[in-house]
Chain A
Amino acid sequence: MKNSVTLTIDSQNVTVPEGTSIADAAESIGIKIPTICYHPSLTPPAICRVCTVEVEGQRTLQPACVVPVGEGMHVKTDTDRVKTARKVILELLASTVNLEEAPEIQEQIDETGADTERFEGGVKRHFEVKEDNPFYIRDYAQCIMCWRCIQVCADDVQNTYALTWGKRGLESHVATFLDEAMPNTTCVFCGNCVGICPTGALKGLIEYRSEQKKEQE
């Protein structure tokens, strides 16, 4: 059996098995920590940083989705510093990506009071919708770069390696080899990426077409 670890989260004592993440430990006592990139069946990339919490003694805030609990740790999940961090990250995201079809993120925006207009006017993730295969479309203007599709396509599930990253920085995006259309890649149309995408960026073609139709009516 694993050893257990006792720590405090927002001044409440909690005892959990060694190796538990701070986020899971918090959840066990009813404290919900917001997450975006985390998905229980994938290797956590820990890139969105909205799950950020304050851990006493640490210089920077810590991503609760991956940082394991430690004996005697003091964690705070709702200080001003944490709240500001979450709010600003969501403001940044909203200034870059079309979040209309990401209801969970919308909720987080409401909860944190993020001002979605604050960083308006800069470079956005701008792409035309890619409709290049009979199964799904890719609308990367809605892509939050959570890496899930790349991960399911590669080592985490499918070992197909159709997807990768193009460029870097704000220009980084999900890409195929030389940006080829899906049928010219190694893609086997398993649909795992569509299933796991948390936004409207990947969508079944039939669903997309019927939405288009509705919009026209």
Chain B
Amino acid sequence: MSSLNQFANDIRENQISRAALFWLRVFVQHAQNNVLRSDLWIKTGMEEGAVISGLNAADPAARVALLSNYDFFKAVRLKDQKSFSGKELDSLDWNRKYDLSLLPHVLESDDAIETRLEALWQEIGAVSPQDRAFEAVLENRASIWGENIPGRSLLPEILHEAQSIYDGWLSTPVLKRISRALKLPLSDIYGVTEFFTMYYTQPVGKKIIRICEDSACTMRGSQEIQKSLCKNLKINPGETTEDGEYTIEPIRCLGLCDHAPAALVNNTRHFELSLDKTDALLANTPDHPQTRNKIGGMVKIALSNINTIDPGSFEDYQEQGGLAALKKTLQQLTPEDVIESVKASKLVGRGGAAFPTGMKWQFTAGNPPGPRYVICNADESEVGAFKDRVLLDGDPFRIIEGLLIACYAVGAEQGFIYIRGEHRPSYERFVHAAAVMKEAGWLGTGIGGTDFNCHIAVRRGAGAYICGEETALMEALEGKRGFPRLRPPFPTTHGLWGKPTVINNVETLAKIPSIIIHGGAWYAALGTAESAGTKLFSVSGSIQRPGVYEVPFGVPLRHLIYDLAGGIAPGRELQAILTGGAAGTFLKPEHLDTPISYEAFKPIQGTIGAGTMIVFDDQVDLRHILADISGFFAHESCGKCYPCQIGSQRQAEILERIKQGRGLAEDSETLLELAQVMADTSICGLGQSAGWATVDAIKRWPNLLK
């Protein structure tokens, strides 16, 4: 057998790494008259090898083995022309320079050595199946993610795909490959991977187990479950087992609080964990479907299809009256009519800021002609918030219909939906729904046989609560770190890629089709004078029936908490309800008969926000809750502006100290001043509101933190 055949066999049998073949090929490609200087050989090889994934060109072992084990080469030292071959090559001093050449027997044994090596390289060297899959992704990126979308904005999606192809993490060659494909500096790509918690630049376990550490889940024992898993696997939270099977990663609220305690294993959801079901976690075999929606309420608008239709079936959706609003819009209404109707409905944004939706659309529509966009904000990640998830999982076509109507109203031909990275089942649902609608002619060009063109791109987040903030979300969509922007200018004139942009919450858009069908006045009449229509509430915590409830504004809080959500467990008392999310305020039992509305909540300083209600019974220590919440903000601060970057951390540290019983006399005063400064000077809503719950708690229970 010729020694080259022997060499090829050794590679096939993993006796020597394919890097050796790589080095031989580099030599043959770059040698002039069968001579190549050693330093040039190494330099060229390092450069070319750096972008071949799975190949460690920087490791000299394969190179040295190639020289000393195969009797292919001769080296002539430049200084004194001393010649080395065979085993002598083992101990060459690589700080010196040599002229390397192949021995005659290698060249003679097969005179077309270049062809021979190329064939070998194609067969066993060049492309691993993973590389092949990834190259296909890069090559087809326009058809996968949409034409006419600037390259950089695909970075987050490409990072996700690369991770799922390459064992869950991003190695240096993979990052370099992406850098070349997207023409982006490596540092820039690294900055993005660092910002989002779901990207890994170090190897991780095959199964990443993320157990929720927020209150609805800890109240039901999630911490004990994490402890027991860690003990069994002999690792600490945040670590990977030695065999590379498992990583345990602590995580904040997963938006599955209606199924607390909850966890993710890779992208799979696990509900209602218990100590005796940890096997299912380890095997990643949940005994329940991936979506399960606990809902209720008297007037179902946004929720009307949930649990009644198959969310994967476009036919089901249409049988229930789906698409009627879009058809009416395209056939009977001008964009101005649509905006008038939405204004008449008095619908305000359901993402927390309660900005009038019709006005937002009108401002955007009023820009000079040119490209513009509509974004559906499906990044729901706040503690205790899961109502958007239920809509995403249970009725994707309605949201796309609402998004299309918004695009029509403002003159946009491109819409986006940005879905929280942890909600992979929801993402898959949307990818499917968009494909089905496109197939049926309801997305793309000439929608429903009219001249309305509109594309919808579905995008994933990657573990950053701040990307729910609208300008941070736009940065993330553009493929950058999710730093909120300075305002003004506002998105209605300078949004995505600096173009006019509408951004709306999932629930806001889910209300649109009904408003178009029944008219704005109908919707407005459902609520109170100053709070139009219905609102979804995510109710969780110490409550019998956690779930998403849709109620018209004006019903008493008691109706939501007791009639719908089942009240507190027998034998316990209601202590407080945190309304409006982690940046919300606490209501007490005495507020139960207050109507739920913006105007009735104002005097009692309740918050509607995105509609989050976390209920605490008398056994909950609110100091723990405040410590948890402030820890959440410290973890999620983007770090851009000083008051929040540092202030959110100091706030969390003080509250943690109080939780541990080491409070100081001046703590309350310090916390109040800090919260005021953060509210006054932070760039975005996260920092501005991070101290609200604490301030509110001090007001309501002046001795709580003493």
Contact present for A49 and B195 (CB under 8 Å): no
Among A20-28, A86-94, A130-138, A207-215, which stretch is in contact with chain B? Answer: A86-94
- Give chain A interface residues in 159-217, CB to chain B under 8 Å: 161-172, 175-178, 185-186
Cα–Cα, bound, A201→B190 (Å): 22
Q: A123-B649, A168-B194, A169-B637 are in contact. Are A178 and B642 (CB under 8 A)?
A: no
**B450, CB-defined interface residue at 8 Å:** no
Cα–Cα, bound, A93→B639 (Å): 13
Tell me which residues across on chain A come within 8 A of B653, comparing CB atoms: 121-123
Contact present for A168 and B195 (CB under 8 Å): yes
Tell me which residues across on chain B come within 8 A of A161, comparing CB atoms: 185-188
- Give chain A interface residues in 37-75, CB to chain B under 8 Å: 45-50, 52, 60-61, 63, 66
Cα–Cα, bound, A61→B670 (Å): 19
Q: A81-B680, A165-B481, A166-B194 are in contact. Are A92 and B634 (CB under 8 A)?
A: no
Q: Which of B188, B481, B645, B682 contacts A169 (CB 8 A)?
A: B645
Tell me which residues across on chain A come within 8 A of B677, comparing CB atoms: 84-85, 88-89
Contact present for A164 and B679 (CB under 8 Å): no
Nearest-Cβ distance from residue A124 to partner chain B, whole angstroms: 10
**A32, CB-defined interface residue at 8 Å:** no
Closest chain B residue, CB of each to CB of A166: B194
Tell me which residues across on chain B come within 8 A of A166, comparing CB atoms: 190-191, 194
**A35, CB-defined interface residue at 8 Å:** no
Tell me which residues across on chain B come within 8 A of A66, comparing CB atoms: 486
Nearest-Cβ distance from residue A155 to partner chain B, whole angstroms: 11
Tell me which residues across on chain A come within 8 A of B464, comparing CB atoms: 168
B657-675 CB contact bits vs A (8 Å, 1 = yes)? 0000000000000100110
Contact present for B639 and A92 (CB under 8 Å): no
Nearest-Cβ distance from residue B82 to partner chain A, whole angstroms: 32
Looking at chain B's contact residues, the main secondary structure is helix
Closest chain B residue, CB of each to CB of A123: B649
Tell me which residues across on chain A come within 8 A of B635, comparing CB atoms: 169
Cα–Cα, bound, A55→B194 (Å): 36
**A95, CB-defined interface residue at 8 Å:** yes
**A126, CB-defined interface residue at 8 Å:** no
Tell me which residues across on chain A come within 8 A of B637, comparing CB atoms: 168-170
**B329, CB-defined interface residue at 8 Å:** no
**A98, CB-defined interface residue at 8 Å:** no
**A99, CB-defined interface residue at 8 Å:** no
Tell me which residues across on chain B come within 8 A of A172, comparing CB atoms: 638-639, 645
Contact present for B191 and A164 (CB under 8 Å): yes
**B636, CB-defined interface residue at 8 Å:** yes
Tell me which residues across on chain B come within 8 A of A85, comparing CB atoms: 643, 677, 680-681
Contact present for A92 and B643 (CB under 8 Å): yes
Tell me which residues across on chain A come within 8 A of B642, comparing CB atoms: 47-50, 89, 92-93, 145
Contact present for A170 and B640 (CB under 8 Å): no
**A77, CB-defined interface residue at 8 Å:** no
Contact present for B650 and A95 (CB under 8 Å): yes
Contact present for A96 and B194 (CB under 8 Å): no
Contact present for A165 and B195 (CB under 8 Å): yes
Most buried by A among B638, B649, B673: B649
- Give chain B interface residues in 307-362, CB to chain A under 8 Å: none
Tell me which residues across on chain B come within 8 A of A185, comparing CB atoms: 187
**A119, CB-defined interface residue at 8 Å:** yes
Cα–Cα, bound, A90→B96 (Å): 55
Nearest-Cβ distance from residue A104 to partner chain B, whole angstroms: 15
Nearest-Cβ distance from residue A24 to partner chain B, whole angstroms: 17
**B648, CB-defined interface residue at 8 Å:** yes
Cα–Cα, bound, A118→B664 (Å): 12
Contact present for A60 and B680 (CB under 8 Å): yes
Contact present for B673 and A46 (CB under 8 Å): no
Nearest-Cβ distance from residue B695 to partner chain A, whole angstroms: 15
Nearest-Cβ distance from residue A60 to partner chain B, whole angstroms: 5
Cα–Cα, bound, A21→B15 (Å): 68
Closest chain B residue, CB of each to CB of A165: B191
Tell me which residues across on chain A come within 8 A of B481, comparing CB atoms: 165, 168
29 residue pairs A–B, Cβ–Cβ below 8 Å? A46-B641, A47-B640, A49-B683, A52-B680, A63-B486, A81-B680, A88-B673, A88-B677, A92-B643, A93-B642, A95-B650, A122-B649, A161-B188, A164-B187, A165-B191, A165-B194, A165-B481, A165-B639, A166-B191, A167-B194, A168-B481, A168-B638, A168-B639, A169-B649, A170-B637, A170-B649, A172-B645, A185-B187, A186-B186
Interface residues of A (CB under 8 A from B): 45-50, 52, 60-61, 63, 66, 81, 84-85, 88-89, 92-93, 95-96, 118-119, 121-123, 145, 161-172, 175-178, 185-186
Q: Which 10 A-B pairs have the closest CB atoms?
A: A161-B185, A172-B639, A164-B191, A92-B646, A164-B187, A169-B637, A177-B186, A49-B681, A170-B649, A88-B677
- Apart from A88-B673, A175-B191: 9 A-B pairs, beta carbons within 8 A: A49-B641, A49-B681, A52-B680, A85-B680, A165-B481, A170-B639, A171-B639, A177-B175, A178-B190
